[in-house]
Structure 1
Amino acid sequence: MRILFIGDIVGKIGRRMVKENLPNLKREYNIQYTIANGENSAHGKGITESIYRELMSYGVDFITLGNHAFHKEEVFNLFEQNKKIIRPMNYPKVVSGDGYKKVNINNKELMIVNLQGRSFMEPIDNPFMIIDELLEKETADEIFVDFHCETTSEAIAMGHYLDGRVSAVVGTHTHVQTNDGVVLENGTKYITDVGMTGFKDGILGIEKEAVISRFLNQLPARHKVPDKGKGILSAVVIDTVKDTIEPILIRE
């Protein structure tokens, strides 16, 4: 199975980068299924119903989220409609939405799981224990995990913890692609962070001036996600048959 995963899509520029590059990526890498992290796709925070449909129209098959999953109220409608979208599984069970779903690809079952880290993030349920509970009761031909976390140590720990138990663990959230795509000792494909898809000449997809100002004066500053400018697309291609993981970085 050949899976393309697109890292955090940020705002209008990120969506444009998907539109312009996804068809060629699918052809070049013979992709069977495309997953994207869409938690920043609505101008930097959350996702809307119209943006969900937009990304699907470009060829995305499935969307994962993260700590901004619930920033837009429309996401609850997407969950209720049972769309191909999930939020981090380790939110409390009373929270709307699913943390994993299964899809069929050429008579193979793929389980897609979304988890969120806890280091320097919201104190939600322990992702290590939550994934243990899931793997005790559910199986699939291939298991793909988007681990949305802040620290490299937590991401690497999850990769080794799940090595041999899932097909792939990919990190999201930091918006910077790491140079450590690897097949771990027991066969799990791993990368600490896939990187972001959005505005190239800012800071993590945001206009740089406000971010720099905050570092200088420690005062709150509104982050601005530009609608125009050069873009970057960060992704990985995972081949579960050949046991390979290949990072992709497209810059304008």
Structure 2
Amino acid sequence: MRLMFLGDVVGRSGRQALVTHLPRLIERFRTDFVVVNGENAAGGFGITEEIAEEFLDAGADCITTGNHVWDQREALVFIAREPRMIRPINFPPGTPGAGATMLTARNGARVFVANVMGRVFMDALDDPVRPLEAALDYHRLGSEVDAAIVDVHCEATSEKQIFGHMLDGRVSLVTGTHTHVPTADHRVLPGGTAFITDAGMCGAFDGVIGMDKEEPGRRYIERTPGQRMTPATGAATVCGVAVDTDDRTGLANWIAPIRVGGDLEPAVPTRWETA
């Protein structure tokens, strides 16, 4: 099975890059299922229903989020009626939306997707481990589901890696999000789970983690509040990973980086073209 995960979409540049490149990537590599983190898509803060529909129309099968999920207040309403968009599973009981979902891939396979938010250097939420464990108990890889993807939205790289090792052999992919910079540690862990500490972002890298560089730089130097930060403009890079899984077990055969457009060195999963 061919899975694709694309990192945090930031602002207009990121949105334009995603809707331009995603349909081409799906067609070129015959991708079965695509997850996109959309929590920074609306001006760098949150996501609107219109933008979510735009991503789904472009080929995304599921949209994950994170600490900015409610920055656009309309998300509190439309997330309840859109099963293809989820928020972190460790929000308190009664929070709108769901933290995990099971969806059908293009090839008819059953795909489980979960979203958790970390505890280190992040806004305090409930325990991320227990609700995730409960969801996985009902969606066992290789029996109840054919593939399983977990988006770990964390500030600390160590916390993301803890989740990778904890879930090794139980899901197809554990990918970190939130820090917006693609890491070079993509690999298949000993138990067969594909892992990367951070998938990166879909946004303009001529900035500070996707935001225009002037205001973050001024705040850092002057240590005073100022204008609202705005997304960087210019050419954006679509960043993420491609994962090939075993159809019998749902575990990963290999993982490869994706970087298309913008300023970063290109990378695509050419092994799919020769398969």
Work out whether 1:244 is the aligned partner of 2:254: yes
| Equivalent in the alignment of 2:6 | 6
| Equivalent in the alignment of 2:63 | 63
**Aligned-partner SS, 2:219:** helix
Q: Tell me the distance in 1 between the aligned counterparts of 2:18 and 2:183.
A: 20
Tell me how far 1:233 sits from its aligned partner. Answer: 1.1
Trace 1:128-207 onto structure 2 (pairs within 5 A). 128-139=129-140, 140-207=145-212
Q: Tell me the distance in 2 between the aligned counterparts of 1:76 and 1:123.
A: 19
Q: Tell me the distance in 1 between the aligned counterparts of 2:200 and 2:148.
A: 21
Q: Which structure 1 segments of 5+ residues have no match?
A: none
Work out whether 1:110 is the aligned partner of 2:115: no
**Aligned-partner SS, 1:16:** helix
Q: In 2, are the aligned partners of 1:89 and 1:114 still within 8 Å (CA)?
A: yes
Tell me how far 1:83 sits from its aligned partner. Answer: 3.5
Work out whether 1:28 is the aligned partner of 2:34: no
Q: Tell me the distance in 2 between the aligned counterparts of 1:75 and 1:127.
A: 21
**Aligned-partner SS, 1:76:** helix
**Aligned-partner SS, 1:231:** coil
Tell me how far 1:251 sits from its aligned partner. Answer: 3.5
Tell me how far 1:87 sits from its aligned partner. Answer: 0.2
Tell me how far 1:133 sits from its aligned partner. Answer: 2.1
Q: Tell me the distance in 2 between the aligned counterparts of 1:251 and 1:210.
A: 25
Q: In 1, are the aligned partners of 2:46 and 2:68 still within 8 Å (CA)?
A: yes
Q: In 2, are the aligned partners of 1:200 and 1:251 still within 8 Å (CA)?
A: no
**Aligned-partner SS, 2:8:** coil
Q: In 2, are the aligned partners of 1:155 and 1:171 still within 8 Å (CA)?
A: yes
Q: What is the TM-score normalised by the length of structure 2?
A: 0.88
CA RMSD of aligned residues (A): 1.3
Q: Tell me the distance in 1 between the aligned counterparts of 2:135 and 2:83.
A: 21
Residues 1-49 of structure 1: CA distance to partner in whole angstroms, max 9, x if unpaired?
Answer: 1111110000110010012211221123220111100000001011111
**Aligned-partner SS, 1:199:** coil
Q: Tell me the distance in 2 between the aligned counterparts of 1:108 and 1:138.
A: 13
| Equivalent in the alignment of 2:249 | none
Q: Tell me the distance in 2 between the aligned counterparts of 1:177 and 1:25.
A: 18
Bigger mean CA offset, 96-105 vs 21-30 = 21-30
| Equivalent in the alignment of 1:127 | 128
Tell me how far 1:150 sits from its aligned partner. Answer: 0.3
Tell me how far 1:61 sits from its aligned partner. Answer: 1.7
Q: In 1, are the aligned partners of 2:86 and 2:99 still within 8 Å (CA)?
A: yes
| Equivalent in the alignment of 1:91 | 91
Percent identity over paired residues: 39
Q: Tell me the distance in 2 between the aligned counterparts of 1:101 and 1:157.
A: 22
Q: In 1, are the aligned partners of 2:79 and 2:96 still within 8 Å (CA)?
A: yes
What letter matches 1:167 in structure 2? S
Residues 197-229 of structure 1: CA distance to partner in whole angstroms, max 9, x if unpaired?
Answer: 112211111010111111111112321114x41
Q: Which structure 2 segments of 5+ residues have no match?
A: 247-251, 263-275
